[in-house]
Structure 1
Amino acid sequence: MAPTADDGAAPSRRPLRADAQRNEDRLLQAAAAAFARDGADASVKDIARAAGVGVGTLYRRFPSKELLIEATYRHEVQALCAAAAELAATLAPMPALRTWMERFIGFMATKHGMADALRVVLTDDSERRQTRAELAEAIGVLLAAGTRAGTTRTQVDAEDVLMALGGISLIAGQEHRPALATRLVDLLLHGIAAR
């Protein structure tokens, strides 16, 4: 049976042509930046302009702002999770972990900007738990690389790190102090590093 809008499953989509996929990727990147900056009040016209496409192209892909917000959120989660393996393969473990944490803080800024709309769009608790599990798994990849290299403590729990990062982003966001997030990430990394 095909998933319905009520069962919490994301609708399946046909693969896009290469040019359409590039347009969608640019739209989602522009939307993430706009939502982080302006919240859910971000202008759809400004998002389309920043992506280098017409507003009609945006509405063909995302007929409502809620669908754009949901797609942006899912795209950001997917990119953040994929980045863990890429960073682990290209950087030393601690710089890889720091870079991922900084991206997570950016993701959370985008999410906070969309928070009110996401409460309406993402009503399924199982989806939130699934997202947390995927993000913890990504952190686990980075922690495992550090453990193998002897640069991170072996007993560090990926979910604990995720919760700490969530707290950092919440505090820094409420204080409107991005530099505070950097300092708190430094403290967290110090606690994770092997002695």
Structure 2
Amino acid sequence: MATTGESGETPSRGKRADARRNQQALLTAAAKVFVASGVDAPIRAIAAEAGVGMGTIYRHFPTRSDLVIAVYRHQVEACAEAGPRLLAEAESPFEALRRWVDLFVDFLVTKHGLAHAMQSGGGGFDALHAYFLDRLVPVCGQLLDAAVESGEIRSDIRAFELMRGIGNLCVGRESDPDYDPRRLIALLLRGLRRSGAS
């Protein structure tokens, strides 16, 4: 029979929870480094950001493609979960949409290096892309619907179109440090505003 600690958790359950937290911290650190330096960033930079040894990263993610795929999935989930939270927190639905687009752009910067990191544009990447669409198009749609209902934006834009347009504006960011797509994306969002919306 398993014994419980003072917290009421069995030691193995507590250990699994710690391992999950450590892995999430690694993924968050890797995402931050990938956004700043691309998916070819040195593993030691990720280890330094996470405050762990390189051996810890390789224990969780034996290859770079394992790490990049895990970061991709982690960022998709973070974007998906952020939509409803931002709608509840932001001062307006349009502000929630704007803040969500910022997160989405961070994600896209990482996404554009994914196929190269996997050294293949084949089935693995295709499955991840389908996962990305299944999780994020409905969230973007929810944000757009809320902003339309509040009278802040026009109603003639679909979630997939907006995401595709933002994605196209982000192409080339990783190879040109002088190009910042956020300025153009801000103009795109401004173009959605209804006249008279504050």
TM-score by length of 1: 0.80
Extract unaligned runs of 5+ from structure 1. 1-13
SS in 2 for 1:194: coil
Q: 2:113 matched to 1:96? A: no
Aligned counterparts, 1:119-158, within 5 A:
120=120, 123-124=123-124, 125-158=126-159
Listed one character per residue, the Cα deviations across residues 13-43 of structure 1 (whole Å, up to 9, x for unaligned) are x997332222111111111122233333322
- State the Cα distance separating 1:173 from its structure 2 match: 4.7
SS in 2 for 1:40: coil
Distance 1:15 1:67 in 2: 25
Equivalent pair of 2:40/2:117 in contact (CA under 8 Å): no
In structure 1, the residue matched to 2:164 is 163
Distance 2:131 2:15 in 1: 26
Equivalent pair of 2:115/2:121 in contact (CA under 8 Å): no
Moved more, 85-94 or 108-117: 108-117
In structure 1, the residue matched to 2:9 is none
- Change over 3 Å in CA distance of 1:138–1:177 after alignment to 2: farther
Aligned counterparts, 1:43-82, within 5 A:
43-82=42-81
Distance 1:121 1:114 in 2: 9
Distance 1:69 1:46 in 2: 14
Letter in 2 for 1:107: F
Distance 1:139 1:22 in 2: 27
Equivalent pair of 1:32/1:72 in contact (CA under 8 Å): yes
Listed one character per residue, the Cα deviations across residues 142-168 of structure 1 (whole Å, up to 9, x for unaligned) are 111112211122222111101111011
Percent same amino acid among aligned pairs?
A: 37
Listed one character per residue, the Cα deviations across residues 27-81 of structure 1 (whole Å, up to 9, x for unaligned) are 1111112223333332223312221122222222112222111101111111111
Moved more, 59-68 or 159-168: 59-68
Letter in 1 for 2:149: R
Aligned counterparts, 1:177-192, within 5 A:
177=178, 179=180, 181-192=181-192
Distance 2:175 2:34 in 1: 16
SS in 2 for 1:120: coil
Listed one character per residue, the Cα deviations across residues 78-103 of structure 1 (whole Å, up to 9, x for unaligned) are 11111111111111111111111111
In structure 1, the residue matched to 2:117 is 117
Equivalent pair of 1:32/1:110 in contact (CA under 8 Å): yes
Moved over 6 A (4+): none
In structure 2, the residue matched to 1:106 is 106
* Alignment RMSD: 2.5
Moved more, 37-46 or 147-156: 37-46
Distance 2:163 2:183 in 1: 17
Letter in 2 for 1:145: A
Extract unaligned runs of 5+ from structure 2. 1-12
Listed one character per residue, the Cα deviations across residues 108-131 of structure 1 (whole Å, up to 9, x for unaligned) are 112234440145386243442331
Moved more, 133-142 or 157-166: 133-142
Letter in 1 for 2:189: L
